[in-house]
A = this chain, B = another copy of it.
Amino acid sequence: MQAELLIHADWILPVDASDETLAKHSLAIADGRIAALLPRTEAEAQIDATRTLDLPGHVLIPGLINAHTHSPMSLLRGLADDLPLMTWLHEHIWPAEGRWVDQEFVADGTRLALLEMLRGGVTCFNDMYFHAEVTAKVCAEAGMRVVAGMIVVDFPTRYADNAHDYLHRGLELHDRYRGHPLVRPAFAPHSTYTVSEEPLQRIRTLADELDAQVHIHLHETRDEVQQVLGMHGERPIARLDRFGLLGPQLIAVHMTQLEDEEILRLADTGAHVVHCPESNLKLASGFCPVHDLIAAGVNVALGTDGAASNNDLNVLGELRTAALLAKGVSGMANAVPAEQALRMATWNGAKALGLEDEIGSLEVGKAADVVALDLDNPHTQPMYHPCSQLVYAASSHQVRQVWIGGRQVVRDGAVLTLDPDAIIKAARGWGERIGQK
């Protein structure tokens, strides 16, 4: 068999139907896809590769998927900390965004976010922000896979005047990227407290017509649930259910406030949950009942949320927090074991984004979104179980090589498709302007 690249690694965690660890295996890439996954001896005998890469001490994993973020908010990282959600939004984030967010902010912020995510082994992210056409363009140029949110809110911003206008701009984005190998648009109504019934109903119809996912903040805090209950006489999840939005197209983010029957309803309808443990902790939003959701059969993916409430876009750190926190919250030390945490950040993310046929695992035929981490490091030794070292001990700077759709985007820890110095310089400039107030 012919291949462009053959990678030999000490361990491969394919995250396929099993939770197997493959020792001394090799992965072949051809035409941007995984062409073979074989024991090294067989791969050496059967595969005729243009290039070979030997990675002793490394583990290969599927590219990490950040299933919820607001990438340009990297420019607001650390602007306001140690505040609850509504104070943080109303007194700090929304005023800063109102004053500063334009196309240049989004371009520079997305680039800063991409630099951090690519360097940390993230190969796909689900974004929600203004000027998504800029984010999509930056990602396409940098070789990053993105689900670009067609954001909708009722209130005017510099990006759009009203819900109709937001949708119109989103649909332009959708048309522009039809069939693009890296950019997939999704509807992104902000929440049930910022988007009214008419645009939510319209999104329901359009999502069916265009076969697009619907990405929304849902049950993030107790206050949100109470507010919507006060405004509309129903909890946010019931409201979406009534509009026909609970289903396999729904990406419901946060979900810290859930009653038992709501968990069952999520499972019955096939809606996806994105757990953002660090943002939920930092804003004291509450605890997502991850263990109960998984037990009920709900697909739970992982997101960092934006860097203004996390404050990083480190999915490897997030999956560790998810694995640890689930144990504390459920009181069961076997809740979310290492293999499940890795699955949340790969396969489950792909499923939530409607991309499970394309990415999320290392299986023959899927796109070659592959990450190699060097575990030959004091803090990931000795080696009893590679998945344990990855989840409970590795840090993102151990990511050494990253491919997206077979294109190498990180080599020896350096991002190849972006200019780090220029990006940090631009970020510093924004920091100086915004920090002055």
Q: Which residues of A are at the interface with B, using a C-beta cutoff of 8 A?
A: 75, 77-79, 81-85, 87-88, 112, 115-116, 119-120, 278, 280-284, 286-287, 307, 310-314, 317, 321, 324-325, 327-328, 330-335, 337-338, 376-385, 388-389, 392-393, 395-397, 420, 423-424, 427-428, 430-432, 434-435
A78: which B residues are within 8 A, CB to CB? 382-385, 388-389, 392-393
**Given known contacts A84-B333, A331-B284, A382 and B75 CB-to-CB distance under 8 angstroms:** yes
Q: Quick one: copies of this chain in the complex?
A: 2
**Given known contacts A284-B328, A284-B332, A324-B281, A337 and B82 CB-to-CB distance under 8 angstroms:** yes
CA distance A383 to B429 in the complex (A): 10
A378: which B residues are within 8 A, CB to CB? 112, 115-116, 119, 420, 423-424, 427
Q: Which 4 pairs of residues, A with B, have the shortest CB-CB distance?
A: A382-B431, A78-B388, A281-B324, A311-B392
Is the Cβ of B395 less than 8 Å from the Cβ of A396? Answer: yes
Is the Cβ of A338 less than 8 Å from the Cβ of B82? Answer: yes
The contact of A328 among B287, B327, B380, B385, by CB within 8 Å, is B287
**Given known contacts A82-B337, A393-B312, A77 and B331 CB-to-CB distance under 8 angstroms:** no
Is the Cβ of A431 less than 8 Å from the Cβ of B82? Answer: no
* CB proximity of A274 to chain B, nearest CB, Å: 17
Is the Cβ of B392 less than 8 Å from the Cβ of A310? Answer: yes
Is the Cβ of A81 less than 8 Å from the Cβ of B337? Answer: yes
Is the Cβ of A427 less than 8 Å from the Cβ of B312? Answer: no
Among residues of B, the one whose C-beta sits closest to the C-beta of A398 is: B397
9 A-B residue contacts at CB 8 Å? A81-B392, A82-B327, A82-B338, A84-B334, A87-B333, A312-B393, A317-B317, A382-B432, A384-B435
A81: which B residues are within 8 A, CB to CB? 337-338, 385, 388, 392
A119: which B residues are within 8 A, CB to CB? 378-379
* CB proximity of A436 to chain B, nearest CB, Å: 11
A324: which B residues are within 8 A, CB to CB? 278, 281-282, 321
Is the Cβ of A382 less than 8 Å from the Cβ of B311? Answer: no
The contact of A333 among B82, B116, B311, B376, by CB within 8 Å, is B82
The contact of A397 among B311, B384, B395, by CB within 8 Å, is B395
CA distance A281 to B391 in the complex (A): 14
Is the Cβ of B431 less than 8 Å from the Cβ of A379? Answer: no
A328: which B residues are within 8 A, CB to CB? 280-281, 284, 286-287, 325
Q: In the complex, given contacts A307-B379, A311-B389, A376-B424, what are 14 additional A-B residue pairs having Cβ atoms less than 8 angstroms apart? A: A78-B385, A78-B388, A81-B338, A84-B333, A88-B333, A119-B378, A281-B327, A281-B328, A282-B327, A284-B331, A284-B332, A286-B328, A287-B328, A384-B435
A382: which B residues are within 8 A, CB to CB? 75, 77-78, 427-428, 430-432, 434-435
Among residues of B, the one whose C-beta sits closest to the C-beta of A85 is: B333
Is the Cβ of B333 less than 8 Å from the Cβ of A381? Answer: no
Among residues of B, the one whose C-beta sits closest to the C-beta of A325 is: B281
Among residues of B, the one whose C-beta sits closest to the C-beta of A382 is: B431
Is the Cβ of A77 less than 8 Å from the Cβ of B393? Answer: yes
A286: which B residues are within 8 A, CB to CB? 328, 331
The contact of A384 among B79, B310, B312, by CB within 8 Å, is B79
CA distance A84 to B393 in the complex (A): 19
Among residues of B, the one whose C-beta sits closest to the C-beta of A379 is: B116
Is the Cβ of A379 less than 8 Å from the Cβ of B335? Answer: no
CA distance A88 to B435 in the complex (A): 49
A282: which B residues are within 8 A, CB to CB? 324, 327, 333, 392
